[in-house]
C-alpha cells in the first residue's frame, strides 16, 4: 500500500504537471491522426492510381516511412530541415509552436503511411461490383469512390483506424526528446524534482492506459453504431 500511497501523493502534489502533459499529448495525437487520415486517404488513392509514376511515388513513400524508425523521422524533421533552410515559424502567443509543429508533422507523416495501407485494404475489400454499379448509373470514378466505395470501406477499416489512434497516443511519447511538454516529458520533470522514478512512471502508465482504453471504447461505440445503421 505504501507504493500506491506514494503514487497518490505524487499525483496530488504534481497533478498540474500531469494535466499539462495529457493535454499536449492529446493535442499532438488528435492532429496527427486527423492529418494522417486526410493525407493517408490521398496516398491510398495514389497507391491505387493507374498512373505509374504516381503509384511508384506513393509506394516508395509508404515503404520508406514504414521501414524507418519514427525517432529518425522526428530528428530529421526537427534538426535536419533547419539545416537546409526550412524553419518552422514561431508564434508568440503559442509557446514552443515550432516544436509542436515539428512533432505533429513527423507523427502525421508516419501515421499517413500506415493509414494509407489501412484505407487501401479497406477499399479493396469492397466488392468490385459496387464500383461498376455506380458507374453504370452515371457516376464518375471519383464520385463512385466518394459516395459508394469509401462509405462502405469505412465500416471495414474503423477498427484498424481506432487501433492506429491508440498507437499514436502511445508513440507520441517520443516527442519528449525534442522538448515538447507531453505526458512523458512532464513525468521526467516530476522524477527530476522528487527522485521518485517508479511511482512517477506508474502514474504515467496508468494515464496512458486510461487514454488508450477510452479511445478504444469510443471506437467500439462508433463501430456498433455503424453496424446498427447497416442492419
The per-residue pLDDT for range 21-62, each reduced to its tens digit, is 999 999 999 899 899 999 998 999 899 888 899 999 999 999
Specify the pLDDT at position 58: 93
Specify the pLDDT at position 62: 94
Tell me: domain 23-184, CATH 1.10.3720.10, correct? yes
Cβ burial of 226 (10 Å; 0-12, 13-18, 19+) is middle
Domain positions in the chain = 23-184
Please give the model's pTM, rounded to 2 decimal places.
Answer: 0.83
The closest of 69, 10, 28 to 179, measured between CA atoms, is 28
Specify the pLDDT at position 93: 58
Specify the pLDDT at position 1: 56
- Residue 174 to residue 177: CA distance in whole angstroms: 6
Low-confidence spans in the chain with pLDDT less than 70: 1, 92-95, 226-231
DSSP 8-state class, residue 145 = I
Specify the pLDDT at position 165: 85
Judge whether 112 and 39 are in contact, CB under 8 Å. Answer: yes
- Residue 227 to residue 10: CA distance in whole angstroms: 43
Residue given cell 509543429 in the structure block: 101
- The vertex-225 CA angle with 223 and 226, nearest 5°, equals 65
Specify the pLDDT at position 164: 85
- Residue 39 to residue 113: CA distance in whole angstroms: 9
Specify the pLDDT at position 227: 67
Amino acid at each position: 500500500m505504501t507504493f500506491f500511497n506514494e503514487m497518490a501523493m505524487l499525483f496530488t502534489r504534481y497533478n498540474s504537471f500531469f494535466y499539462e502533459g495529457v493535454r499536449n499529448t492529446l493535442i499532438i495525437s488528435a492532429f496527427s491522426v486527423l492529418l494522417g487520415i486526410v493525407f493517408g486517404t490521398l496516398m491510398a488513392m495514389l497507391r491505387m492510381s493507374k498512373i505509374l509514376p504516381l503509384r511508384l511515388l506513393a509506394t516508395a513513400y509508404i515503404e520508406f516511412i514504414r521501414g524507418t524508425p519514427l525517432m529518425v523521422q522526428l530528428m530529421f524533421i526537427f534538426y535536419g530541415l533547419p539545416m537546409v533552410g526550412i524553419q518552422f515559424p514561431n508564434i508568440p502567443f503559442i509557446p514552443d509552436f515550432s516544436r509542436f509543429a515539428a512533432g505533429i508533422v513527423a507523427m502525421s507523416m508516419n501515421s499517413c503511411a500506415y493509414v494509407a495501407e489501412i484505407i487501401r485494404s479497406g477499399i479493396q475489400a469492397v466488392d468490385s461490383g459496387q464500383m461498376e454499379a455506380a458507374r453504370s448509373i452515371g457516376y464518375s470514378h471519383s464520385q463512385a469512390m466518394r459516395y459508394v466505395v469509401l462509405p462502405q470501406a469505412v465500416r471495414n477499416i474503423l477498427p484498424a483506424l481506432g487501433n492506429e489512434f491508440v498507437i499514436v497516443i502511445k508513440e507520441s511519447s517520443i516527442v519528449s526528446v525534442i522538448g515538447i511538454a507531453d505526458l512523458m516529458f512532464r513525468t521526467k520533470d516530476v522524477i527530476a524534482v522528487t527522485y521518485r522514478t517508479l511511482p512517477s512512471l506508474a502514474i504515467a502508465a496508468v494515464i496512458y492506459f486510461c487514454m488508450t482504453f477510452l479511445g478504444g471504447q469510443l471506437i467500439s461505440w462508433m463501430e456498433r453504431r455503424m453496424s446498427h445503421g447497416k442492419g
